[in-house]
Chain A
Amino acid sequence: MDKGRIKDLTTLMPWVGLFLFTPPVLFLFRQDTTIFGVPVLPVYLFVTWFALILTSRKLSEYLVDDTVPFDTPHMPPNSSDEA
């Protein structure tokens, strides 16, 4: 996938997350069923959260070259503002 799409996907991530964690979606998991004795809703919240973390990790790997390092505290004057 090209980088532009990855950037857009990264921008989309919080909104996808917000959607997955808002009441109408959460209502779907408001059941009496349990998984290993735990109600479904908390399980859904943690599993979705973890899935988002994995996705974020995958996406961020593509973007590593586009960040700018600014390790050096004193840069030469002609380049100091491009940091």
Chain B
Amino acid sequence: MLNSGLVLITSAGYLALLFLLAFFVNRLAVNNKSRMINSPLIYTLSLTVYCTSWTFYGAVGSAARNGLEFLTIYIGPSLVFFGWWFILRKLVRISKSHHITSIADFISSRYGKSAYLAALVTIMAVIGTTPYIALQLKAVATSFNVITEVPGLPIAASSITHSFYSDTGFWVAASMGIFLVLFGTRTVGVEEHHHGVVAAIAIESLVKLFAFLAVGLFVMFSVRAPGGGNILSAIALDPALSQRFSFPDQFGPRWLTMLILSASAIICLPRQFQITVVEIANERNLQKASWLFPLYLLLISLFVIPIAVAGLTILPAGSNPDQFLLTVPLALGYEELSLLAFIGGFSSATSMMMVASMALSIMISNHLVMPLLLRLRHTELERGADFTGILLTIRRISIVAILILGYMYYRFSTGSDALASIGLIAFAASAQFLPVIIGGIFWKNGTEFGAFTGLSAGFIVWAFTLLVPVFEHAGLVNGLLENGLYGIAFLRPEALFGATGWDPLVHSVFWSYCANIGIYIFTSLISKPGALERLQGSLFVDVFKIPFNPNVHLSGRSVRSGELVALSQRILGTGPTQKLFHEYSEKQGVSGLPEPDASLVAAVERQMAGSIGAASARIMVSRVVEGEDIGIDEMIEILDETQQLIAYSHQLEQKSQQLEETTARLRAANDQLKRMDRHKDDFLSHVSHELRTPMTSIRSFSEILLDTDNLDGQKHEQFLKIIVSESQRLTRLLDEILDINLLENDYGPWEAKSIQPSTILREAIASLDGLVQQKNVMLSDRSTVNDWSTHADPDRLKQVYINILSNAIKFSDQKQPRVSIDTKVTDGSFSTIISDNGPGIAPDDQSAIFAKYQRIQPSAQGIGLGLAISKQIITRMKGSIDVSSKQGQGAVFTVTIPNIQATK
């Protein structure tokens, strides 16, 4: 047992230290020396306001009762921070651009700066948070009783029988109130930075981590399991324990639900949103917190299991597991350690109460009181001089009211012994904000009406399924659990629509999310968003994409500078107003008051939003400004145009890419055309040349015959023969040209009948007999295939064979010219291989010889259309004609024709 005086003095001393710290940090911040306070480390530590006394004491209790379940509370938030790039960074960026002051402000601002939505969120937050504050008071009071109680006596669950002045809870609540009035409501700042509070909770985070680790290490090193090993080996020894720290089959849904709940809590709990999103000084802090915060959570949960096991092992059965952190060291006689643990729990409780009531007070003053004041007494307010003072007073009153509310809840609720259940109920309440937040930053079509109805539905289902059972256990309502609403069994709070046998938490989260998300999406789709909702939706969803300052483009607002200054001074105070207007004067290059253009009005509204919330700021500015909505419509047009421009430029990019490809293709085609044109010119000059030679001789001989009278008969006849032979040659040339033109254009006579190429080949060889004799060529026919047949034009094929063979014979320049013929069938195609030992064809010329104007040997006869014609014929037979040769070693022509069956 610890002396209660000692405990009181220690706690008071600790609180006094926090007051001093907050005081000095505020002094530093005023002097702009807040670099330390803005560091990622302080930011991360302040985030751990997440670990309240519920997690501090309750985690051990939960581990003792339900095994590993407590880990979900720490793992869920870790997962969210691992993915900081995705959600948290966007939330922070939006909040900074719109000067968001709280979660209610965020939601209302997204859905068209709706005052109703802000009020709804505020009320939900107050209802969800008050029991949580009560829980903290209860934890402090209970833990105080535990360490000052005489050991051995049973600890009464409801030892709150004292009058309030001897109740620890009261004094804690009171000192929190004083602390926040002093440090939590110093300024109505543009970005809601409360350096003193942040510093205090950062220190408290260190204290609670240190306390927990100290108890944990102590348990690990000085408490032995019954078998003599370390305390963890007790799990394996005791079947009940090893069962508890395993993972029962039916545990899955609850495990998953708690992961989701705790993940959404780290975003949606009002105090958490305040610290994570509003109080952040620098986006880079988030980057470091993405792993440092999960590390803190891991460390603080590391010794939960050993402490729980130790409590279950060494303490008498029936001891309250929520107090193991205190009772285990006490039972072993380490009173100082349990005092340290008490201070740790005290830290967790006070830091939560500070931030929660600060966040709530901002919401209450901006979204509940302000709109009412604006509505009820706006004439007086508009005449009033110092609005900042009124605002701060409202906040201070709100803080006190919230703490009183929490205290009353704590006094009058007998409550469940298990701290964890109240904590989870608060988590489930805050989780209702998640759909409209996530929808709000990723989905443009969410509307104010959708958000309002979705939130209300989710909240009603939450209250009915989780809060009503608590009230019933407390005796406030009767028979609902058993009989359902109006006696309808379908409407039993813990078995809604006949879903019996579910875990109450899973049941509630399932139905409330169904109602919340379903109605949010459905009513969003059927309601028509107003101009401001669309604008805000675009600005939120596209916060990373919209590069320009949208408000600069707002136009159509008219106001007199004097009125704007007066309004600004009342809300922002004289100093900031002067600063703001001075900046604009300089920017506009005027002395005295700046022109009240649209961007100045927007700036004033934004600065005011940082103090009183977007909805109230909009109402107040629109009182003195006229014609705003025109500006918004224009704004949306500009936004739409920007989107269209982006899409359009994307299309342009694609188009120009296509254009480039087409140009490349055109260029290639053009090159080919030019080449062909050149070839055509060549061809024409060849042809002209070839025609000219016989023409010249015909002409000259004809002239001789005409001019010379006394020509002898022999000469006469010889000349006439030359003329005839030259004419024949001319005709042959013209025939060939006609022939190839016909072939190229697929005209011309073409008969296809069943033929045997070997027969045709033999006919061709026979017809060349004379030439062979004349040139003294050794022709060896080695063809062996005789029974292969196909459909083709026999005369044409013969023309090809004759052409190639006659070339081989004609061009041979060896003393012993040889030409050999071979045939074979491969892959169903018939190949004829004709090889000679002539001069061969240079590699460069091999592809050219089939072109229709080429003649490799200038001295040779004809204009070189033979091979071109052959190529055309074989191509038309779907075959191929190839040449392989080395200069000086002869050439090998291969004619391959496929097997074609009768086509017609």
Contacts and interface: CB of A to CB of B under 8 A. Distances in A.
B806 interface: no
Interface string A17-53: 1100111001100101010111101100110011011
Contacts of B542: none
A32 B236 CA distance: 8
Contacts of A10: 82-86, 290
Given A52-B78, A53-B291, A73-B191, A39 B286 contact: no
Contacts, number: 158
Given A37-B236, A73-B191, A83-B97, A53 B287 contact: no
A53 B298 contact: yes
Contacts of A68: 93, 283
A10 B190 CA distance: 31
B282 A69 contact: yes
B830 interface: no
B246 to A, nearest CB: 6
Contacts of A42: 68, 245, 305
A11 B84 CA distance: 8
Nearest to B253: A23
B83 A14 contact: yes
Contacts of B596: none
A15 B84 CA distance: 12
B464 interface: no
Contact of B550 (A18, A77, A81): A81
Contact of A80 (B242, B305, B603): B603
Given A23-B251, A32-B242, A64-B287, A83 B85 contact: no
B80 A71 contact: no
A69 B587 CA distance: 24
Most buried by B among A42, A55, A76: A42
B79 A18 contact: yes
B579 A74 contact: yes
Interface residues of B, number: 66
A8 B290 CA distance: 15
B549 A73 contact: no
Contacts of B283: 67-70
B236 A34 contact: yes
B259 interface: yes
B96 A70 contact: yes
A83 B21 CA distance: 31
Interface string B296-333: 00100010010000000000000000000000000000
A49 B229 CA distance: 26
B81 A56 contact: yes
Given A41-B247, A80-B603, A63 B287 contact: yes
B567 interface: no
Nearest to B241: A39
Given A11-B86, A52-B82, A77-B603, A41 B246 contact: yes
Contacts of A52: 78, 82, 294
A81 B189 CA distance: 17
- B contact face: mostly helix, strand, loop, or mixed: helix
Contacts of A63: 85, 287
B79 A77 contact: no
Contacts of B235: 34, 37-39
A64 B84 CA distance: 12
A17 B82 contact: yes
Interface string B210-238: 00000000000000010001101101100
Contacts of B549: 78, 80-82
B295 interface: yes
Contacts of A34: 233, 235-236
Nearest to B600: A77
A11 B580 CA distance: 39
A64 B600 CA distance: 33
A30 B305 CA distance: 17
B286 A67 contact: yes
A57 interface: yes
Nearest to B301: A46
B807 to A, nearest CB: 62
Contact of B246 (A30, A76, A80): A30
Contacts of B298: 46, 49-50, 53
B515 interface: no
A47 B96 CA distance: 36
Given A18-B79, A70-B96, A81-B550, A56 B294 contact: yes
B192 to A, nearest CB: 11
A55 B82 CA distance: 9
Interface string B779-800: 0000000000000000000000
B256 interface: yes
A52 B71 CA distance: 15
B574 to A, nearest CB: 15
B281 A71 contact: yes
15 contacts: A10-B86, A14-B82, A21-B79, A32-B236, A37-B232, A38-B233, A49-B298, A52-B294, A56-B290, A57-B291, A63-B85, A63-B287, A64-B284, A70-B282, A81-B97
Given A13-B83, A39-B235, A60-B84, 7 more contacts: A17-B79, A23-B251, A37-B235, A41-B245, A42-B245, A70-B283, A71-B38
Closest 10 pairs (CB-CB, A-B): A37-B233, A14-B83, A23-B252, A13-B82, A57-B291, A81-B549, A10-B85, A67-B283, A14-B79, A56-B291
